[in-house]
Amino acid sequence: MTDDIFDHDVLFIPGPVEVRREILDAQGGWMIGHRSKAFADLYARLQPKLKEAFFVGDGYRVYIYTSSGSGIWESASRCCVRDDQPVLHLVNGAFSERWAGVSRENGKQVDVLEVPWGQAVKPEQLADALKQKHYDAVAVVYNETSTGVINPLPQYAEIMRGYPDTLFLVDAVSCWLGAELDTAAWGIDLVVTSSQKCFALPPGIAFGAVSDRVLARAKEIPYRGYYFDVLTLEKHHEKNNTPATPPISLMYAADRQLDAIRAEGYANRFRRHAQMAGMVRAWVERQGFAMFSEEGYHSPTVSTVRNTRSIDFPALQAHLKKQHITLGGGYGKLKDETFRIAHMGDAQPAHIERLLSAMDAFLAQA
Ligand SMILES: *Cc1c(COP(=O)(O)O)cnc(C)c1O
């Protein structure tokens, strides 16, 4: 994985990320019908691997969504919250704000607990909000990709234990398989992910771990739509298939990648992400920039850097492009203030080293 990959444009943006040749090639298998035995075998083979990757056992299943991660937002908002009960959204960046919007657009009553972007939502704040009133669900983005903040999920989990009637919904899109996520032990009811971030697959498929409690709640909600309805997904899941035609090629790729991740080891994979994040933070300090994220809550998978030196970022991007390196700018309202360095998926410390030296060279002549 450390051979010279810079013979093509390599992505250091927070999704889609660089995908290894072996994974791209795994998509080349012949097509099979999605109602065939061959497909049911593929589906059944993926299930235990996916459950392991989410750290879940009995009481959970992992659905395959033919959408990007946003589709699972809709599934969660729509199937986990009754229309006459509120949902609490923790907001500290662009993605958590957008998920709250998805709940509103599905007609739900949304309360927002918001902190300034760049900060983490503190456990005490969640505890206080839950004392005020009953919520059908709490929705949180574990790793805010816009600000580079990782929220203290294990501490939220301890608080949530006191509210067994409140579902715990977690967007782990930009950190699943890049940071620890102990879904069952932390009592999480639904995990939202995408394929094109730390899982390092092409985009177009998403995986959602769902607890029994979610299915029980969904039965109390009359209109759940069709495409993202968990009860429809469950009916087909029991037969090892999907309600509509799934992205079969991407399932081949997922099968291969789950084996590769298992061979690397989950703990090793999380350590590698933390190591790359540490390299980037040391560079930020050495070069006189500043982290946008609050101390103590820096993301292991994406670093949002304040452009305190007011460098010409488009010029830096153009410089990097000549060396086949693609770097991402700031997101949404943070576009001009910050830039982002993703260190996720199958990226290796040697690749990050290459990126940082290329940036050093630009800064030396700027
Ligand atoms: C990328 C991202 C999303 C959106 O995922 P899609 O796969 O593009 O739909 C949602 N949440 C977070 C935290 C993200 O980083």
> Which domains does the chain possess?
10-18+265-365 (3.90.1150.10), 21-262 (3.40.640.10)
Local confidence band at 1 (pLDDT 50, 70, 90 cut-offs): very low
For the chain, report the end-to-end CA distance as a whole number of angstroms: 32
Q: Does the structure show a pLDDT above 50 at 55?
A: yes
* pLDDT at residue 4 in the model: 85
pLDDT per residue as tens digits for the range 268-292: 999 999 999 999 999 999 999 999 9
Local confidence band at 252 (pLDDT 50, 70, 90 cut-offs): very high
d(CA 364, CA 324): 19
Mean pLDDT within 14-30: 98
Pocket test for ligand 1, best of 72, 96, 145 (most atoms within 8 A of CB): 145
36 Cα: distance to centroid of ligand 1 (angstroms): 32
> Burial code of 110-134, b = ≥16 C-beta within 10 A, e = fewer?
bebbbbebbbbbebeebbebbeeee
Amino acid of residue 249: S
Pocket test for ligand 1, best of 70, 205, 293 (most atoms within 8 A of CB): 70
Mean pLDDT within 175-202: 98
Mean pLDDT within 7-13: 97
* pLDDT at residue 318 in the model: 97
What size, in residues, is the chain? 366
Amino acid of residue 41: D
pLDDT per residue as tens digits for the range 312-346: 999 999 999 999 999 988 999 999 899 999 999 99
136 lines ligand 1 (CB under 6 A): no
304 lines ligand 1 (CB under 6 A): no
Q: How many percent of the chain have pLDDT more than 90?
A: 97
Listed in sequence order, the residues at least 6 apart from 56 whose beta carbon sits closer than 8 Å to its beta carbon are 62, 183, 184, 209
* pLDDT at residue 366 in the model: 77
Q: Dihedrals φ, ψ of 20, to 5°?
A: -65, 150
Please give the helix or strand (H or E) that residue 88 lies within, else none.
strand 86-91
Q: Does the structure show a pLDDT above 80 at 295?
A: yes
Strands of the sheet containing 86-91, edge to edge, are: 60-65, 206-211, 190-192, 167-171, 137-141, 86-91, 109-114
Q: Which residues pair with 61 in a beta bridge?
A: 210
Local confidence band at 137 (pLDDT 50, 70, 90 cut-offs): very high
Residue of 136 and 3 predicted with greater confidence = 136
- Pseudo-torsion of CA 47, 51, 56, 60, nearest 10°? -30
70 lines ligand 1 (CB under 6 A): yes
Q: Does the structure show a pLDDT above 50 at 14?
A: yes
- Pseudo-torsion of CA 157, 160, 162, 165, nearest 10°? -140
Please name which of 179, 201, 196 lies closest in space to residue 256, comparing C-alpha atoms.
Answer: 201
Local confidence band at 26 (pLDDT 50, 70, 90 cut-offs): very high
137 Cα: distance to centroid of ligand 1 (angstroms): 20
Q: Does the structure show a pLDDT above 70 at 249?
A: yes
Taken in order 178, 182, 184, 187, the sign of the CA dihedral is negative
271 Cα: distance to centroid of ligand 1 (angstroms): 23
* pLDDT at residue 6 in the model: 96
151 Cα: distance to centroid of ligand 1 (angstroms): 16
Q: What is the mean pLDDT of the chain?
A: 97
